[in-house]
Structure 1
Amino acid sequence: MTDNPWKTLKITPVYDNPWIRLEQHDIINPAGKPGIYGKVHFKNRAMAIIPIDSEGNTWLIGQYRYPLDVYSWEIPMGGGPIGMDLLESAKRELKEETGLFAEKWTEIMKIHTSNSVTDELAILYLAEELTQGETEFEETEVLQIKKLPFPEALDMVMSGEITDSISVAGILKAARILGY
């Protein structure tokens, strides 16, 4: 059955800022009972990039993730305004975080990051034929850049050292595409 078994009675905004909106939905659930559902709406599309050079190296970004209170290794990623060209946003993010430019771009997947509480959609790209330039970090970014052979990034996923869901999905998908 692919029809929507939920009925929305009312949507109440709870919180709003430039990046997210939190809503409370008064609903009738699939069992026919009243309830509430919380939803986080993202105002940007997430995009992530797996850059691969001609020697099979990739780049990871290390940064402290405030909501988790942990340091995290991830593929380059960021957000692009809904309605803006996603590939152009991905190119901007790759340049900002790594200084890299890519001649060849391949969209490799779209994923919902947490479909139980949010509508966030992430688009992942493989970026190849790279040229190194200068980074352009945003004021909120204190980033560490790590260039490493792609199989080492894959090992970091498999050992649990990389836990970011977009990075895990992207690296695993790229590994299949690249034949690792």
Structure 2
Amino acid sequence: MDETARNPWTRLSRRTAYRNPWITVTEDEVLTPGGRPGIYGIMSPNSVAVGCLPVDAEGQTWLVGQWRYPLDRYSWEIPEGGASKEVPPHEEALRELREETGLTAARFQELLRLDLSNAISDEGAVVFLVWDLTAGEAAPDETEDLRLRRLPVAEAIEMAHDGRITDAISVAALLRLEVLALRGQLPEGMPPVL
């Protein structure tokens, strides 16, 4: 981070334009970096995005398939969801993993943090690499109609490369894992993935 950088925007006012249980939209009157008056709308989720990239002892992972309403299409993703900002992210990510896949993880490590759409939203995400897995019963939310797919990590990475996976959190997590594996930087005790 550039410690000498300063904010070139000037906020003149802020109002809540819309709010529901999931998001708040604010509209700011601003002076742009060029000094002109303008408006800036910001969508703020009332949660933080969390995700888990599970890897079992055989180098397999799980993807969750579901219809994404805003995109009006089907999406394959790592287990992920919205989480309380009041609970540590790893606890919420492990909860999402259990709910969506039935898996519990004895070991985890933070994989990455993301700003998901920083031109229009302040939504952030925290993603964990999880292993030493135990199978159990999935319990998805009533708003979720999920399919699970177990496949080699290398195949999931290829899906991120060739565009079959487009979810930003999933693509970033899979490509980060690939880089760690290629550099020989996987956590101790983690099964090989490539």
- Matched residues in 1 for 2:90 and 2:152: separation? 25
User: Which residue of the partner structure matches residue 107 of structure 1?
Assistant: 110
Amino acid at match of 2:6: D
Q: Which has the higher strand share?
A: 1
Amino acid at match of 1:5: P
Question: What is the Cα deviation at residue 85 of structure 1?
Answer: 1.5
Deviates more, 1:170-179 or 1:6-15: 170-179
Question: What is the Cα deviation at residue 153 of structure 1?
Answer: 0.3
Amino acid at match of 1:175: E
Question: What is the Cα deviation at residue 178 of structure 1?
Answer: 2.7
Please give the residue correspondences for 1:130-145 in structure 2 after superposition, counting only pairs within 5 Å. Answer: 130-145=133-148
User: Which residue of the partner structure matches residue 123 of structure 1?
Assistant: 126
User: Which residue of the partner structure matches residue 22 of structure 1?
Assistant: 25
Question: Cα deviation per residue 1:77-129 (whole Å; 9 max; x = unaligned)?
Answer: 01111121111101110000000000111001100000000000100100000
- Matched residues in 1 for 2:179 and 2:100: separation? 25
Q: Superposition RMSD on alpha carbons, in Å?
A: 0.8
Amino acid at match of 2:59: G
Runs of 5+ consecutive residues of structure 1 not aligned to the other structure:
none
Question: Cα deviation per residue 1:132-163 (whole Å; 9 max; x = unaligned)?
Answer: 00001100000000000001101111110000
Amino acid at match of 1:86: P
Please give the residue correspondences for 1:21-170 in structure 2 after superposition, counting only pairs within 5 Å. Answer: 21-170=24-173
What's the secondary structure of 1:142's corresponding residue?
Answer: coil
- Matched residues in 1 for 2:181 and 2:34: separation? 45
- Matched residues in 2 for 1:160 and 1:91: separation? 27
- Matched residues in 2 for 1:142 and 1:83: separation? 27
What's the secondary structure of 2:107's corresponding residue?
Answer: strand
What's the secondary structure of 1:83's corresponding residue?
Answer: coil
Question: What is the Cα deviation at residue 54 of structure 1?
Answer: 0.9
What's the secondary structure of 1:140's corresponding residue?
Answer: coil
- Tell me the TM-score normalized by structure 1: 0.98
* Alignment match of 2:9 (pick from 6, 9, 33): 6
- Tell me the TM-score normalized by structure 2: 0.91
Stretches of 4+ aligned residues off by more than 4 angstroms: none
Paired residues in the alignment total: 180
- Matched residues in 1 for 2:131 and 2:118: separation? 30
* % same residue: 44
- Matched residues in 1 for 2:106 and 2:97: separation? 12
